[in-house]
Structure 1
Amino acid sequence: MSGAAGMEKVYSAIEQSARMLDVPCSRDRVLPILASYGDAISNVAIIFSVSTGSQEFDYTIQLPEEIDDPYAHTLSHGLVAKTDHPVGALLSDIKARIPVSEYFADYGAVGGFQKLYPSFPGSPQKVADLAGIPSMPRAVAENADLFARYDLADVALVGIDYKRKTMNLYFQLGAEVAGDLESKAVLSLLHDCGMPEPDEQMLELARKAYRIYITLGWDSADVLRISFAPQPRQNLDLAEIQARLDPKIEAFMTGAPYAYNDDRVSISVPKWSAQGGHFNLGYYYQVSPQLKALIAKNKD
């Protein structure tokens, strides 16, 4: 498929999905983003997602390998304004110290560019080492005792939110607990982070997490959000979250387009802030060769 045809196919899927969610979608806003990735847009993982209670539809793109500096790429294409805030230096500081294996970028159909994610699951980093990075928020070091208390030790991914000027630490859970967290541990962590107590459905989904990610900022030591991410999986049972499921989101999760022949690979992430809990729901519109291999392996 040519680069132009590939971009049109992805744009059409974004537009259709946004329409299902009653979210505005403009070719003038989305196509320049897709074009910045060239022909590779047809060969990388792309995730579509929406949060309950949100007026935005998000799409996440795995960056092609030839983009060595995602922040410079984003600046050069006019997708973000340069800033003197430490958030603008964090990616380069991470790149200089950590062997990053791949990158992802978040965009909103309405709001445009949002976040970059350097991913390094093969070289997980300790909190103390990350806290020593010059542009890292002091909140990382200030919450080190909290993380240690819950055995949150290995960071496999960092999210850098340029719009909100916050960042995320994605903690990889050990094999002995991943997917089977104790309810009391989840409740205690939420309490210690200043979050409200969850309802039963959210608690049960949180217990299935293989990663926990914490949102921090540069202005205080407060934990701004905490999220529990189960493994992406096929044949997601929406009954897990039925009490909070808007009919439009249910239609999106079951009927929006995707570009592979296997069953839809879906995500469902319960999240909390001090204001309450919500779900981030989505699925892989397009899968990478690595994910295709993993799907095939899981079927064997």
Structure 2
Amino acid sequence: MSKATVAEDVYAAIEESARLAGTPCSRETVWPVLSAYEKALPQAGIVLSVSTVEHPPADLDYTITVPSGTVDPYAVAVANGFVTDTDHPAGTLLADIQARVPVTEHLIDCGVVSGFSKIYAHFPFDLLGLSQLADIPSMPPALADNTDLFARHHLTDVAMIGIDYQRKTVNLYFAHLPEEFRTAQNILELHRELGLPEPSGKMLEFAQKSFRVYVTLGWDSSRIERICYAPSPVRGWDPSHLPVPVEPEVEKFVNGSRRTYAGPPIVIAAVKWTADGQYLNLGPYCRLSPLMRKLLQQLTGQPV
């Protein structure tokens, strides 16, 4: 299958999923991204997701993996006007990360309404510790300011870093979480220290199942702007197991979105806290990259 045909198939899947979710989708917004990264698409993994806080969802996010050696994700983003090359530290952070760790794959994050937003560096087999991260010159100072807090709450090893070029923020994805992290007491104390609303009931139970946790940092403040908890993806899903109700159009989107693998959908859910409250992101895997298949098989213990 030609790269152009793969791009058309991916666009059709995104457009159809947005329609199921009740979210407007414009080819003028989505196609330039798919065209720019079409060299990466044949081997790319793709995850679609929506927020359950809005009814219907105002945007549908699509995350595309960019296998190493296909394209330079930042150079492509700048060349196509998705990102403005700048002297802000956000403009050099990806290169600084690449110089310190072998990146297994990159990812790009976009919305069908909001457009291009993030690039991720994913290094699940070569985790970076807090001191290594704090030494990166372009990293937000908020990381160094909160190193002791992270360590106290058993957040020490980072497997992925996301750079939001629209908001000028960074996401740190902590992996290999010990059981000490997952205790209710630890999570509640962490939220108190962050000044964020405390989880309770099903939300707390959901957070305790996390296989990865990410925090959002900016360059202008030491404050942790957001924390997100993500349990392992599941093959098939039961909306009643989620900590918040799922609207019918979101259930239709998760069950009905196209996928290029056999069997029930593989679904990822993540609950996020900000100073304004909490919300859930939910969505199916559309296409699986070779690395996605390997990691999902390790997580689920089942062939993918």
Q: What is the TM-score of this pair, normalised by structure 2?
A: 0.92
Which residue type is aligned with residue 13 of structure 2? A
In structure 2, relative to structure 1, the CA distance for the partners of 1:87 and 1:294 (3 Å cut) is: closer
Could you tell me how far 1:296 is from its partner in structure 2?
6.0
2:219 matched to which residue of 1?
218
After superposition, the C-alpha distances for 1:13-63 in whole angstroms (9 at most, x for unaligned) are 111111122222111221121112225413210000111225111000000
The 5-angstrom pairing of residues 49-60 of structure 1 reads 49-54=49-54, 55-60=58-63
In structure 2, relative to structure 1, the CA distance for the partners of 1:177 and 1:68 (3 Å cut) is: farther
Q: Tell whether 2:169 aligns with 1:169.
A: no
Measured in 1, the distance between the counterparts of 2:154 and 2:182 equals 12
Which residue type is aligned with residue 128 of structure 1? S
2:159 matched to which residue of 1?
156
1:69 matched to which residue of 2?
72
| Secondary structure in structure 1 of the residue aligned to 2:241 | helix
In structure 2, relative to structure 1, the CA distance for the partners of 1:170 and 1:79 (3 Å cut) is: same
Could you tell me how far 1:241 is from its partner in structure 2?
2.3
Structure 2 residue aligned with 1:120, among 116, 119, 123?
123
Q: Tell whether 2:36 aligns with 1:32.
A: no
Q: Tell whether 2:264 aligns with 1:263.
A: yes
In structure 2, relative to structure 1, the CA distance for the partners of 1:68 and 1:128 (3 Å cut) is: farther
Quick one: percent identity of the two aligned structures? 44
Comparing 276-285 with 196-205, which one deviates more in the overlay? Answer: 196-205
Q: Tell whether 2:215 aligns with 1:233.
A: no
- Whether the 8 Å CA contact 1:137–1:216 is kept in 2: the answer is yes
Which residue type is aligned with residue 20 of structure 1? L
2:91 matched to which residue of 1?
88
| Secondary structure in structure 2 of the residue aligned to 1:299 | coil
Measured in 1, the distance between the counterparts of 2:106 and 2:290 equals 15
| Secondary structure in structure 2 of the residue aligned to 1:117 | strand
Which residue type is aligned with residue 194 of structure 1? G
- Whether the 8 Å CA contact 2:257–2:284 is kept in 1: the answer is no
Could you tell me how far 1:290 is from its partner in structure 2?
3.2
Measured in 2, the distance between the counterparts of 1:27 and 1:135 equals 35
Runs of 5+ in structure 1 lacking a partner? none
After superposition, the C-alpha distances for 1:87-110 in whole angstroms (9 at most, x for unaligned) are 111111111222211111101101
1:106 matched to which residue of 2?
109
- Whether the 8 Å CA contact 2:233–2:266 is kept in 1: the answer is yes
- Whether the 8 Å CA contact 1:2–1:39 is kept in 2: the answer is no
2:21 matched to which residue of 1?
21
- Whether the 8 Å CA contact 2:159–2:174 is kept in 1: the answer is yes
Structure 1 residue aligned with 2:137, among 108, 120, 134?
134
Comparing 180-189 with 199-208, which one deviates more in the overlay? Answer: 180-189
2:291 matched to which residue of 1?
290
Measured in 2, the distance between the counterparts of 1:253 and 1:41 equals 22
1:144 matched to which residue of 2?
147
Comparing 191-200 with 278-287, which one deviates more in the overlay? Answer: 191-200
Which residue type is aligned with residue 191 of structure 2? L
Could you tell me how far 1:68 is from its partner in structure 2?
5.2
Measured in 2, the distance between the counterparts of 1:70 and 1:273 equals 29
1:278 matched to which residue of 2?
279
Which residue type is aligned with residue 95 of structure 1? Q
Could you tell me how far 1:74 is from its partner in structure 2?
1.0
CA RMSD of aligned residues (A): 1.9
Q: Tell whether 2:13 aligns with 1:6.
A: no
The 5-angstrom pairing of residues 176-191 of structure 1 reads 176-177=178-179, 181-191=182-192
- Whether the 8 Å CA contact 1:139–1:222 is kept in 2: the answer is yes
Q: What is the TM-score of this pair, normalised by structure 1?
A: 0.93
| Secondary structure in structure 2 of the residue aligned to 1:42 | helix
- Whether the 8 Å CA contact 1:37–1:64 is kept in 2: the answer is no
| Secondary structure in structure 2 of the residue aligned to 1:59 | strand
Could you tell me how far 1:286 is from its partner in structure 2?
0.2
Which residue type is aligned with residue 286 of structure 2? Y
After superposition, the C-alpha distances for 1:251-285 in whole angstroms (9 at most, x for unaligned) are 11122221211321110111100110101111210
| Secondary structure in structure 2 of the residue aligned to 1:170 | strand
In structure 2, relative to structure 1, the CA distance for the partners of 1:64 and 1:102 (3 Å cut) is: closer
| Secondary structure in structure 1 of the residue aligned to 2:67 | coil
| Secondary structure in structure 2 of the residue aligned to 1:205 | helix
Measured in 1, the distance between the counterparts of 2:71 and 2:42 equals 19
